[in-house]
Amino acid sequence: MSLNLESAAPLTMALPKGRLFEQVQEYFAEKGFHFKFEKRRLVAHDESGLLKIFLVKNADLPTYVNHGIAGLGISGEDVLYETGLRFFQLMQFDFGSTEMCLAAREGYGKPNTIRTVSVATKFPRFARDYFYSQGVPIQIIKLNGSVELAPILGLAPYIVDLVETGNTLRANNLEVVDTLKKINVHLIANPSYYKLNYRRINRFVAALHSETANTVPDSSESGRK
């Protein structure tokens, strides 16, 4: 007789606060996984009991998954790349895509390659790698939000930031100078957690891929060969 102690517990998953959260919640509901967070609570269970979900700050999500506190997580490649951590990428979603862009005031154009350029960004690794690839020396000014203010107020002429609709750039008289990368949203797993729970996780992923709302995946890991 084999004991499957891990099968008794729900799968743990971290979801990011902010604009991605509502898209994830809607997508999961379409697939038959319903959950909601009671007022100010940061932990919830889906109605089937398969998932225990933590609501975390976007930039902290990889930390929770890396430490195995959440076995699974949903995150954009922007946040994942910045951490430099490695995860199993189980699935790419068709919602939440954005672009990582270099932007500046309208008509400012590309930076020249001789003088050091100041770049304000929430994403220093993206900015550094991009400018290195272009052979342009840079000084990175790390910000945590409202990055579009930097060129307007004279903190830095360039920003590297996410562009989704482009509304924030337009509203601040900025424009895209170059597109660094399309950013997709992924379901990620802690590698050790995946190895321990791969049957249930694979069934969960199959349910997410399915066109119709799922019947709840069997929560047992039994039948492992």
Which residues of this chain interact with ligand PRP, rule CB under 6 A?
145-148, 161-168
Going by C-alpha positions, the residue among 150, 149, 145 that lies closest to residue 118 is 150
CB nearer ligand PRP, residue 51 or residue 143:
143
Q: What Cα–Cα distance (Å) separates residue 193 from each residue in 66, 68, 88, 96, 144?
A: 10, 7, 10, 25, 31
Yes or no: say if 44 and 55 are a contact pair by the CB < 8 Å rule. Answer: yes
CB nearer ligand PRP, residue 51 or residue 147:
147
CB nearer ligand PRP, residue 46 or residue 148:
148
Provide, rounded to whole angstroms, the least separation between the CB of residue 180 and ligand PRP: 13
Provide, rounded to whole angstroms, the least separation between the CB of residue 152 and ligand PRP: 13
Provide, rounded to whole angstroms, the least separation between the CB of residue 86 and ligand PRP: 25
Q: Distance between CA 198 and CA 136 in Å, rounded?
A: 45
CB nearer ligand PRP, residue 69 or residue 162:
162
Instruction: Say which DSSP state 172 is in.
Output: T
Assign 25 to helix, strand or coil.
helix
Provide, rounded to whole angstroms, the least separation between the CB of residue 78 and ligand PRP: 9
